[in-house]
Structure 1
């Protein structure tokens, strides 16, 4: 009976440690609404993390496509002296990319909340 209590305590400690680590790894990453995200797009490095076919179907004007599948290899081309604005389809993949950039020393990292799926601004596509 005591062994399950010890196991439960260990599990709780592990969960707490994971939550704290996730919180600390996201410090310095700004989650922006569409309005906030759209304010300075001409002055930032705007990166669409979706795969090429989704990017070509429609993306935010001025975005550079670096799919998450190749992000680890290509992230070295992202400047550290300019703000980075990341987006994907729903906001989850961008958080992964933001953590990678943060580990590499980037300071001004911004993610579009809920991704492009909720974007109401202008979209550029290959068909238009």
Structure 2
């Protein structure tokens, strides 16, 4: 009986993970560095890492709106312009995109591989 419950919970977690992954792929475009670079100047470039990570180096022109503060700072992000997101490797970007999508944002993009794969200009604070 306990094994059956454990198995049901495990299957439920797997199905939920697959659902979130598929939803993320549907709402968030993953762009290679060249494509990201071509579009981010005409968009809202948002670094969702924490302030200490941002100060250590960020893409030139990015605004720091950490994932931990995003819910409170949504007024800073326009719905009528593309949103280009990045974090260190992509995990926080996906969570930020799910939140933004839920709040009505539609043109969501992320940098493939995150900041650690960025080869362009950076700024340190």
Q: Tell me if TM exceeds 0.5.
A: yes
* 1:4 Cα deviation after fit: 6.5
Select 1:19's aligned residue among 1, 14, 17: 17
User: Which has the larger displacement, 80-89 or 49-58?
Assistant: 49-58
Structure 1 unmatched ranges of 5 or more: none
Give aligned pairs, total.
124
4+ long deviations beyond 6 Å: none
Report the equivalent of 1:109.
108
Structure 2 unmatched ranges of 5 or more: none
C-alpha separation in 2, matches of 1:85 and 1:22: 20
Report the equivalent of 1:10.
8
- With the length of structure 1 as denominator, give the TM-score of the two structures: 0.84
Report the equivalent of 1:72.
71
Q: How does 1:1-128 map to 2 (within 5 A)?
A: 3=1, 6-7=4-5, 10-11=8-9, 13-26=11-24, 27-126=26-125
